[in-house]
Amino acid sequence: MSKPDPARSAGGASDSRLSRASVQRFSLYLRHLQRFVREGVQTVSSGQLGEALGLTDAQVRKDLAYLGNLGQPGIGYPAPELIAALRHRLGIDRTWPTIVVGVGNLARALLRYRGFEQQGFLFVALFDADPGKIGQKVDGLEVYDPKRMAEVVADLKAELAVVTVPADAAQSVTDALVAAGIRGILNFAPTVVRLPEGVSLVSVDLAVQLEQLAFLVESDRPEGEPE
């Protein structure tokens, strides 16, 4: 079963020193830097980024050191250059053609979110096994029969896929995606799927996230407070 390699996917070359947590923080740094630039800020300090994310200055400097010597003591980091470096390290300084399998409510909501395209993820095709959906267009994209997956993926040079199918269909769908040449899968199906080496997987189980949130709220409840 393949395992996500954050160091490899974040910049191409493997770097064992770069942790998954650092890669996740890179995305957060990028969001805040883009906001700063929209507000006219051209230079940011580790303190500004740390305050925005609830991190120490030292942690920010340690993370950003992986990007090279971009900062100057007492001055800070040039925001546009730091954004470019983060986008390169995350692998999003180019466009990623992406397909979606399973055209239900979740998929439609994802398609309406324009932030994906701004970050380099371009949805190029949709797939659904429902004969009533095949041939329709959703947000300007045609819904294809999954039997045509290999053909369409090759034609559109798609590399990533978002899976929003029921749990019992997730494994067969991911198998078909791998056979079609997809290199990375974002799986929303609430189940574990197995993939061969060389294909990266990130799973998002919203129920699990809500369970974690409930645990945190319950753990923070003052002792004796009624439930």
pLDDT digits (tens, 9 = 90+) for 25-59: 999 999 999 999 999 999 999 999 999 999 999 99
pLDDT band of 5, cuts 50, 70, 90: very low
The CATH class that applies to domain 6-90 reads: mainly alpha
Residue 71: pLDDT over 80: no
What pLDDT digit, counting tens, does each position of 104-156 carry? 999 999 999 988 998 899 999 999 999 999 999 999 999 999 999 999 999 99
Q: What is the mean pLDDT of the chain?
A: 89
Residue 62's Cβ-count burial label (10 Å; 0-12, 13-18, 19+) is middle
Q: Is 156 helix (H, G, I), strand (E, B) or coil?
A: helix
Q: In the chain, list all ranges with CATH 3.40.50.720.
A: 96-209
pLDDT at 224: 61
- Which token pair is 114? 């324009």
Residue 227: pLDDT over 80: no
Q: Please name which of 197, 204, 130 lies closest in space to residue 162, comparing C-alpha atoms.
A: 204
Residue 11: pLDDT over 50: no
Query: What pTM did the predictor assign?
Result: 0.80
What pLDDT digit, counting tens, does each position of 191-205 carry? 999 999 999 999 999
Residue 72: pLDDT over 90: no
The CATH class that applies to domain 96-209 reads: alpha beta
pLDDT over 90, % of the chain: 75
Least confident piece of the model among 11-20, 68-77, 85-94: 11-20
Q: Please name which of 104, 105, 97, 108 lies closest in space to residue 184, comparing C-alpha atoms.
A: 97
